[in-house]
A = this chain, B = another copy of it.
Amino acid sequence: MRTARNEKVERLHREGGARKGSDMAVGVKDVAAAAGVSVGTVSNVLNRPDRVSVKTVERVQDAIRALGFVRNDAARQLRAGRSRSIGLVVPDIGNPFFADVARGAEDRAADAGMTVLLGNSDDDVDRQSAHLELFQEQRINGILLTPASDDLAAIGRFAEGGVPVVLVDREVEEGALSSVSVDDVEGGRLAASHLLEAGRRRLAFVGGPRSIHQVADRLRGAQAAVAAVPEATLEIIERPSLTVLQGRAAGEALVEREVDRRPDAVFAANDLLAVGLLQAFSFGSGIRVPDDIAMVGYDDIDFAAAAVVSLSSVRQPARELGWTGVDLLLKQLDGVDHDRRVRFQPELIVRDSSRARSDS
């Protein structure tokens, strides 16, 4: 045994430290042998250098370098009972909003020496649970999840199974689930108030299916703001999804209308809709933005600022959402007492699409 080890180390040395191929894994035992200490000491150097004398630390670290030792995380986490990864399940990483969430999450995780496992659910419950199961096998430390379904019960059960879950962009009334979200009611209020303050009175809300939590909340906020101004009205233009195409269709319908039946301001439930509306309004439609119709979108995606008529939008801190989600998870893991639900306030970014009428 001893001898075998030694031979192995010698072979490694002979090869000059930079091993080609990959047939042989260097373990703590090899390092220990090379440094002339015990495995326990090597482990201490790795994890609690302060408990080891300076001289020994150096010797061990030299050996680590010389042998090109890389910790085997599987063994480490087998012993520890937990891994150093967290799972992130979003509907679609291709959606810029979630890409930003992922970015924030990964940043925070990397700070903590943790790693992010990515899963796309496509809003499909089966894909979602497939990911959750796989992640669970990896003994992830926790999950950031934007749930695909309204069936939070299943997720609740999952959370009770011992894996901390943080809901992203979705709150749950009660129970053990943590969440990071943005106050969508306030966002809707902000948008509508801004339009009202700019002197608009005939507002319209263009939004996706009301079954989507976020859409309903944004509408609610807008309604509240409108209700506070006596002569103001809010028309609801419902759309089946939140895409550019739907926005364009909605816009074209408005263009068709008689001029005095058009709203003088539109609040779109997200920026994609808003972009579609903008497109419809610019095809020689006779509608000028913001002169005839002022526009406010939601999400403040990168393109909002880059649109031809730069789009006012309610900013959601997507990156912070991800960052904070992981932060919550980490605190939960450390057993630190903390808020289980963080709610951000949205911010209105005013751009050209809702500036005062040029002819006011």
User: Which residues of A come within 8 Å of B, CB atoms?
Assistant: 18-22, 25, 68, 70-75, 77-78, 81, 83-85, 88, 92-94, 96, 99-100, 102-103, 106-107, 110, 113, 115-120, 127, 130-131, 133-139, 157, 160-163, 244, 275-276, 278-279, 282, 302-303, 305-308
Contacts and interface: CB of A to CB of B under 8 A. Distances in A.
7 contacts: A75-B78, A85-B117, A94-B96, A94-B99, A94-B103, A102-B118, A308-B308
Given A25-B81, A72-B137, 4 more contacts: A70-B133, A93-B106, A110-B127, A117-B117
B93 A93 contact: yes
Contacts of A71: 137
Contacts of A138: 73-74, 84-85, 115
Nearest to A131: B110
Contact of A116 (B72, B113, B117): B117
Interface centre among A73, A106, A117, A307 (most CB of B within 10 A): A73
B139 A72 contact: yes
B120 A103 contact: yes
A92 B85 contact: no
B96 A92 contact: no
Nearest to A113: B134
A71 B134 CA distance: 9
A193 to B, nearest CB: 28
Contacts of A74: 74-75, 77-78, 83, 138-139
B115 A130 contact: no
**Identical copies in the complex:** 2
A359 to B, nearest CB: 17
B93 A99 contact: yes
Nearest to A136: B70
B83 A94 contact: no
B93 A96 contact: no
Contacts of A84: 138
A292 to B, nearest CB: 17
A100 B138 CA distance: 25
Interface centre among A72, A130, A138 (most CB of B within 10 A): A138
A18 B157 contact: yes
B94 A100 contact: yes
A78 B81 contact: no
B78 A106 contact: no
B120 A118 contact: no
A22 B161 contact: yes
Nearest to A282: B308
A103 B92 contact: yes
Contact of A120 (B21, B70, B107, B134): B107
Contact of A275 (B73, B130, B306): B306
A130 B107 CA distance: 12
B99 A137 contact: no
Nearest to A83: B74
Contacts of A93: 93, 99, 102-103, 106
Contacts of A21: 160, 162
Contacts of A102: 93, 118
A15 to B, nearest CB: 12
Contacts of A83: 74
Nearest to A116: B118
A278 B99 CA distance: 25
A11 B357 CA distance: 73
